[in-house]
Chains A and B, each alone.
Chain A
Amino acid sequence: MRLEPRAHVPFWLNIAAPIAAVGLAFAFCALLIVWAGAPVLEAYQALLRGAFGSVFAVTETLTRAAPLIFTGLAAAVAFRAKLWNIGGEGQLYAGALAATYFGTGLVTLPPLIMVPFLFLVGAIAGGLLLLLPVILKLKLRVDEVVTTLLLNFVVILFANYLLFGPWKDPLAMGWPQAAPIIEEGILSPLVPRMRLHSGLIWALAFAIFAWGFIRFSRWGFQIRAVGHNPEAAAFAGIPIGATVLRTALLSGGLAGMAGVCELAGLKGYLTLDLSPGFGYTGIAVAMLAGLHPLGVIASAIFIAAIYNGADAMSRAMSISNYLADVLTATALLLVLASVLFVRFRPRLR
């Protein structure tokens, strides 16, 4: 098989190809549902109901989408500059750790300042954590994929140490959890009696900010240039090192804010099940969005819907909710391939 570049890409193909890919992913998972011995249509109906079937379901899906928007943006911004930050999970926990450190009584500010302050310290912690592998990459050419991945384990073990040791809340009846974030730092609820909180507004704001930054600012242009062709960018006088460092701070910062969003928005205290792999799922979110910051909003809601829907489905019938992970992974791979077929025409010899 040969791939020929298309001279002209029809507009409808740009939209149809990813949709077809996601459709294929659902078709593949239908096979798994059949294998599990459940009726496919009813299973998918249960999934849809669980994701969007009621006000409660919609708010739950949006609640889950908020951290995914942050981690999706983190991956999208970094991948734009060909910086392979796979450490979103660790940066998320770093952000939550920093917010716990400052937000549990060390600093007390009025709510209007306290919440942005917590996001700021979370972002700084996440950014600094990514800075280490990026400096190693720039100075010593150490591959950042492996270092960011390995740091995830280190940070989570460190959080584990703190929660079982010095940070363990004595009032928590022996559970490994930190003291609660003070009242002023809690993200306010958006819908009465639902869990949806203003973290979603923050996430949307940062998606628009990231889009504007990448699209219109000089630094954003430099990020894109370095990602497209580092040699040409260097030749044109773009400071590669500084651009990569800025990208790292932005990407790590966004992932760190995902941790603050979950921490201050949901339980209000740090536990070890803060994130069910939001950092890793963020990569799928970013790829489904074609690394476009505004697209990240849609794909985060889509993936959050799959996860919430799968939870509801697994409660209704005996299908494991790991199906959501399978669905995300197949969608990721197939959308990746579909984008290629938009740009290239497959020819059999």
Chain B
Amino acid sequence: MEILEIFVTLGFWGALVRMATPLIFGTLGELICERAGVLNLGIEGIMTLGALVAWFWVYQGGDLWTAVLVAAAAGALFGLLHSVFSVYLGLSQHVTGIGITLLATSLSYFAYRMLLPDVTTPPKIEAFKPYPIPGLSELPYLGQVLFTQSPLTYLAFALVPVVAYGLYRTPLGLALRMVGENPMAVEAQGIDVHRLRTAAVMLGSAFMAVGGAFLTISVFDAFYIGMINGRGWICIALVIFASWRPGKALAGALLFAAFEALQIRVQQASSAFIPYQFFLMMPYVLSILAMIVMSRRAAYPKALLVPFRKGER
């Protein structure tokens, strides 16, 4: 059976880990925002922006790691903008998020067209190369799958325990989770609710932007119009699937990436019977199914979507 053979190829497992990377960044970022009580629908646009900024930085001769930082900073800036509307002004998080996505996406595309007015094929850049970790990459099988990846992939995987530790084992993480559950209790502790939420949204948005940057400076080596292609929305579904827990978010991202890596290969093997469009639909259908499966257990942060105004109950 051809499909079973796919699972024994190292290429499949390597692709899985690579494809999970932007989803891990995006899901962790969205998770941080939502844990603080802010739904960030700006994710799709912020990922686009991160992709453009990082690509352009490298295209101009900038350093790859600086590009990651610049993308993160751009993401944080749009996170700040999101907070001004959704946290400080207490406007609808849905509409704010859609507005941020529209703004970040259109600004990115506008900038791309203005920066390269005459180019028809997107120019390639010198992107991150797979960095085999000395020693570990020599391991049979595992070495090639897990330890011969882009440095950004290592960063994504390393961030999962860091975020989990930060959320569950530090006072700041406790305050952040509490501000998403009961902001008044946080205020009673003398912590500024608005500032804390803003910080969370900015940090989360920085993560999202790096997820977008990974696509341009580590996978495709170029920027395309429409390249994020719903990955941000899938991350939002993954956060629900993961019940707002970093560990489960990693599992969800890997599961999704497995499916994506699988569909590309099955598509090649069976394009004669099943039109490829149905394979392309699968990530979206699977996201919806995942949300249905997890819906009974979904424990939303209690103050998600609820703006906080001082002195108001």
Q: Are A and B associated in one complex?
A: yes
Query: B-contacting residues of A (Cβ < 8 Å)?
Result: 1-3, 32, 35-36, 79, 84, 86, 136, 140-143, 145-147, 149-151, 153-154, 157-158, 160-161, 164-165, 280, 283-284, 287, 318-320, 322-323, 325-326, 328-330, 332-333, 336-337, 340
A1 to B310, CA, bound (A): 10
Q: A146-B236, A146-B291, A161-B277 are in contact. List 17 more A-B contacts (CB 8 A).
A: A3-B309, A36-B114, A141-B295, A145-B41, A150-B237, A153-B281, A157-B278, A164-B275, A164-B277, A322-B106, A326-B107, A328-B102, A332-B95, A332-B99, A333-B85, A340-B89, A340-B91
14 contacts between A and B (CB under 8 A): A35-B114, A140-B295, A141-B295, A145-B39, A145-B41, A150-B233, A154-B285, A157-B278, A283-B98, A320-B113, A320-B114, A325-B106, A325-B109, A328-B102
Instruction: With a 10 A CB-CB cut-off, give which of B117, B240, B277, B287 has the most chain A CB atoms.
Output: B277
A314 (CB) vs chain B CBs: closest residue: B113
A121 CB to closest chain B CB (Å) equals: 23
What residue of chain B has the Cβ atom nearest to residue A140's Cβ? B295
The complex places the Cα of A323 from the Cα of B89 at a distance, in Å, of 26
Chain A proximity mask over B271-296: 1 for CB below 8 Å, otherwise 0: 00001011011001101100110011
Q: Does B230 sit at the interface, judged by CB under 8 A?
A: yes
Alpha-carbon distance A150/B290, docked complex (angstroms): 12
Given A146-B240, A147-B288, A157-B277, is A333 in contact with B99 using a C-beta cutoff of 8 Å? yes
In the assembled complex, the Cα of A157 lies from the Cα of B276 at a distance in Å of 10
Contact of B110 among A2, A84, A154, A325 (CB under 8 A): A325
- B50-88 vs A: 1/0 string, CB under 8 Å? 000000000000000000000000000000000001001
The residue that A140 contacts in the complex, of B284, B296, B309, with Cβ under 8 A, is: B296
Does B96 have its Cβ within 8 Å of any Cβ on chain A?
yes
State the CA gap A100–B85 with chains docked (Å): 42
CB-based nearest B residue for A327: B106
Min CB distance B60 to A, Å, is 16
User: Which residues of A are found within 8 Å of B107, using beta-carbon distances?
Assistant: 326, 329
- CB pair A322 B109 closer than 8 Å: yes
Residues of A contacting B: mostly: helix
Complex contact B240–A323 (CB within 8 A): no
Q: Contact between B310 and A2 (Cβ–Cβ < 8 Å)?
A: yes
The interface residues of chain B lying within 8 Å CB-to-CB of A141 are 295, 298
B291 touches A142 (CB 8 A): yes
Which 4 interchain pairs have the tightest Cβ spacing?
A325-B106, A320-B113, A329-B103, A329-B102
Rounded to whole angstroms, the CA-CA distance of A203 and B248 in the bound complex is 47
Distance from A155 Cβ to chain B, minimum over Cβ atoms (Å): 9
Which single residue of chain A is at the shortest CB-CB distance from B92? A336
Within 8 A of A (CB), among B83-142: 85, 88-92, 94-96, 98-100, 102-103, 105-107, 109-110, 113-114, 117
Chain B residues with Cβ below 8 Å from A1 are 88
A323:B110 contact, CB within 8 angstroms: yes
Which of B88, B94, B288 touches A145 (beta carbons < 8 Å)? Answer: B94
Pairwise interchain contact B109-A320, C-beta atoms closer than 8 A: yes
Please give, as numbers and ranges, the residues of chain B lying within 8 Å of A284 by CB-CB distance.
99, 102
Interchain Cβ contacts within 8 Å, total number = 131
Contact of A142 among B109, B234, B295 (CB under 8 A): B295
Contacts of B298 in A (CB 8 A): 141
Would A150 and B102 count as touching, CB distance under 8 A? Answer: no
Instruction: Name the residue of chain B whose CB is nearest to the CB of A341.
Output: B89
Q: Which of B85, B107, B110 is the most central at the interface, judged by chain A CB atoms within 10 Å of its CB?
A: B110
Rounded to whole angstroms, the CA-CA distance of A320 and B105 in the bound complex is 14
B contact residues around A318 at 8 Å (CB): 117
CB pair A325–B117 under 8 Å, yes or no, is no
Contact between B284 and A154, CB atoms less than 8 A apart: yes
Residues from chain A with Cβ under 8 Å of B288 in the complex: 136, 142, 146-147, 150-151
Docked-complex contact A161 and B278, CB < 8 angstroms: yes
Q: CB-CB < 8 A to B98: which residues of A?
A: 86, 280, 283, 332
**Known A157-B280, A330-B103: A337·B91 in contact at CB below 8 Å:** yes
Do A161 and B233 have beta carbons less than 8 Å apart? no
Q: How far is the CA of A3 from the CA of B308 in the complex (A)?
A: 12
Q: Is the pair B275, A161 in contact by a Cβ cutoff of 8 Å?
A: yes
Cα distance A88–B107 in the bound complex, in angstroms: 22
Which of the listed residues B41, B240, B291, B298 has the most CB atoms from chain A within 10 Å of its own CB? B291
CB distance from B103 to the nearest CB of A (A): 4
A172 to B153, CA, bound (A): 46
**Distance between Cα atoms of A143 and B310 in the complex (Å):** 28
User: What's the Cα separation between A227 and B131 when bound, in Å?
Assistant: 53
Residues 227-243 of B, flagged 1 when their CB comes within 8 A of A and 0 if not, give 00110011011001000
**Separation in Å of the B290 CB from the closest CB of chain A?**
10
Are B85 and A337 in contact, CB atoms less than 8 angstroms apart?
A: yes
Residues from chain A with Cβ under 8 Å of B41 in the complex = 145
Whether the pair B281, A154 counts as a contact (CB closer than 8 A) is: yes
Contacts of B292 in A (CB 8 A): 136, 140, 142
Distance (Å) between the CB of A161 and the closest chain B CB?
Answer: 4
**Given A329-B103, A340-B91, A147-B291 contact (CB < 8 Å):** yes
A318 to B114, CA, bound (A): 8
Cα A224 to Cα B277 in complex, Å, equals: 40
